[in-house]
Structure 1
């Protein structure tokens, strides 16, 4: 399921969010104090929950029913957030790498280690002068 931008818009007051998550409003306040699900604030004081927050509250409820402690739930959610951020970064780096490969499709280089251990760049199809150099290559290129 793709996450939409509007899923993060703070639209629900605490009573509506509690009803949607099938919880008591005081439970939502406790989760906010513990940092498990932190809604945005309107006017500095009034909590506003997004659709994503309601989904998180349902996930907290599911984990709690399975016997996971609140501290455990908080840690699980932190790890899920971290995994999500890392996956996003991998996608970003993959796009950058693909763009770089497309830009340099004709400019492929081979790298070798010289006698002193230095890295020597050479064009594909050329030989490194030092006879003891180790040439690194990519299979399939």
Structure 2
């Protein structure tokens, strides 16, 4: 019988999390204050860490040992989260595109620098000197 483990389930109290991450509990409190790792809160306001939080703490420790400042670590983690979110969004959009009816495959879209997306008629181009990116899928792409 396989047991599924939810990496996002906040189950570890601060002392256990500190032990698993090989850090002092006060260090975890400091990281929480700085917003580097933000654990969940139990009803009594005590911190609860997930396995994902423990993994992040280990990454923070590794980066710190390599000489990266806490502000640098915070920025790296923010950028990694942003990249992961963007990758999930690309996957969602790709799946949505795959579910679209075939008649839409011949349509052309332009995306402007502000992130707006417009459908273009076949043979039309975005406004002159636009920095738009044109995206299309060839009819015989499969």
> Structure 1 length as normaliser, TM-score?
0.73
Q: Return the offset for 1:106.
A: 9.1
Q: For residue 123 of structure 1, what is the aligned residue in structure 2?
A: none
Q: For residue 90 of structure 2, what is the aligned residue in structure 1?
A: 90
Please list every run of 5 or more consecutive structure 1 residues that lacks an aligned counterpart in the other structure: 118-136
The count of residues paired between Structure 1 and Structure 2 equals: 114
Q: For residue 104 of structure 1, what is the aligned residue in structure 2?
A: 102
- Where do residues 1-141 of structure 1 align in structure 2 (5 Å cutoff)? 6-43=6-43, 45-100=45-100, 103-104=101-102, 108=106, 111-113=122-124, 138=138, 140=140
Measured in 1, the distance between the counterparts of 2:53 and 2:90 equals 25
RMSD: 2.5
Displacement over 6 Å in runs of 4+: none
Q: Return the offset for 1:82.
A: 0.2
Q: For residue 114 of structure 2, what is the aligned residue in structure 1?
A: none
* Change in 2 beyond 3 A, CA 1:96/1:16: same
Please list every run of 5 or more consecutive structure 2 residues that lacks an aligned counterpart in the other structure: 108-120, 128-136
* Greater Rg by CA: 1
